[in-house]
Amino acid sequence: MISAQSYRQNSALRGSPRSLPKARQRTSNVNLAEHRVALVVGNSAYQSVPALANPVNDAKAIAAALRKVGFSEVREVYDANLTTFAKALKDFGDLDGEGPNSPFAEALSKYLTEPGLEIGLLFRKVRDAVYTRTGKQQEPFTYGSLPAQPFFFKQ
């Protein structure tokens, strides 16, 4: 599992880097990279199934790659139990937000309980809520592959 957030500091950096002149592209990429944080989780050891060979190694490779492309902070969690994983998520979420929860946790907890909300739409609504709440400064991204069959947390 990989979670990453990019923070945009001023409106000049909001456009696509391709739309900026070359000299400006380098500056924009550096400025954006200075404010990128990521949480990388690799679990190979589970209680009820044999250990998996790749997840920890994969997570270490991804963490290293994120550092190479300019992420200023990459938090790594390996073989976490539920308590450790929840704490890592909470600590990661505490990097932003002024209330008791980050804008992401606030939006996710709101939409997870909405009946009949398909998972793909749930994450798009979370993205929109965070983007609006933070004045277009944070834009969560969702990575993954979902099957064609709809999935609902709550019917």
Query: Mean pLDDT for the chain?
Result: 78
Mean pLDDT along residues 52-78: 92
The answer to whether residues 79 and 110 belong to one domain is no
Q: Which of 129, 141, 121 is closest to 103 using CA atoms?
A: 129
Same domain, 108 and 87: no
Q: Strand order of the sheet with strand 2-5? A: 2-5, 37-42, 73-78
Number of domains in the chain: 2
Measured CA to CA, the distance from residue 134 to residue 14 in angstroms comes to 14
Contact 2, 76 (CB under 8 A): no
What is the domain extent for residue 46? 2-93
Residue with tokens 């270490």: 60
- Is residue 155 included in any domain, yes or no? no
pLDDT the model gives residue 146: 87
- pLDDT, tens digit, for every residue of 114-138? 999 999 999 999 999 999 998 988 8
pLDDT at 23 over 70: no
3-state DSSP of the chain: CEEEECECCCHHHCCCHHHCCHHHHHHHHHHHHCCCEEEEEECCCCCCCCCCCCHHHHHHHHHHHHHHCCCCEEEEEECCCHHHHHHHHHHHHCCCCCCCCCHHHHHHHHHHCCCCCEHHHHHHHHHHHHHHHCCCCECCCCCCCCCCCCCECCC
Question: Does pLDDT of 16 surpass 80?
Answer: no
Do 83 and 37 lie in one domain? The reply is yes
Whole-number percent of the chain with pLDDT over 70: 77
**Co-location of 89 and 100 in the same domain:** no
CB of 32 closer than 8 Å to CB of 14: no
Instruction: State whether 51 and 76 are in the same domain.
Output: yes
Q: Is residue 151 part of a domain?
A: no
Percentage of the chain beyond pLDDT 90 is 41
Residue 82 lies in a domain: yes
Q: Which residues pair with 152 in a beta bridge?
A: 118
pLDDT tens profile 88-118: 988 887 777 677 888 988 999 999 889 999 9
Indicate the range of 12-21, 45-54, 108-117 predicted with least confidence.
Answer: 12-21
